[in-house]
Amino acid sequence: MKTVLSTILVLCVLGSASPALRAEGAPKAARADIYNESLDGSKQIAEALEAAKRGNKHVLLQFGANWCRWCHRLHKLFASDKAIAEKLKNDYVVVLVDVNKEHNKDIDTKYGNPTRFGLPVIVVLDSSGKTLTTGDTGKLEEGDHHSPEKVMAFLEKWAPKR
């Protein structure tokens, strides 16, 4: 009986944990997907380039997959750090390109196979679609997370000049 009650208690605690906490160590079923595995990356990027032209922004492609823990960590930082979120909102159109099981392989090839660096990987485009840089996000890591300072420095370096 104690084992059953302990199991129920653990399940209740896990079920009430924030999605961000569950994404770090829980099985995929408990983690919210951030990449839409059915989207065509070409269409996503075309729409993003149109929006970037209208807003004088750059396009930030984040290649990744829903199973990728570091992809979730970077996505969480993008959303939770107020300064980074504001920088992204003002200067970038962000596109999450799913590359699970070679989905969007043609997009990976088109942009020089950035996934060779691992996941996630970032490619920054100007509003005309020209590649400005490919960022190995491993260089933005610090221990078990992405460094907010390194991420912000990257975003500032590649933001459009105003």
CA-wise closest residue to 34 among 45, 49, 23:
23
Instruction: Classify residue 139: in a domain, yes or no.
Output: yes
Q: What is the number of structural domains in the chain?
A: 1
Beta strands 141-142 and 145-146: pairing type? antiparallel
Question: The domain spanning residue 126 has which CATH number?
Answer: 3.40.30.10
CA-wise closest residue to 154 among 89, 98, 88, 95:
88
pLDDT tens for residues 46-79?
999 999 999 999 999 999 999 999 999 999 999 9
Quote the percentage of the chain above a pLDDT of 90.
80
Instruction: Classify residue 134: in a domain, yes or no.
Output: yes
Tell me the Cα Rg of the chain: 18
The DSSP secondary-structure symbol of 127 reads T
Residue 41 three-state SS: helix
Range of the domain at 46: 33-158
- pTM over 0.85? The answer is no
Strand partners, 121: 63, 136
Instruction: Classify residue 103: in a domain, yes or no.
Output: yes
pLDDT at 128: 97
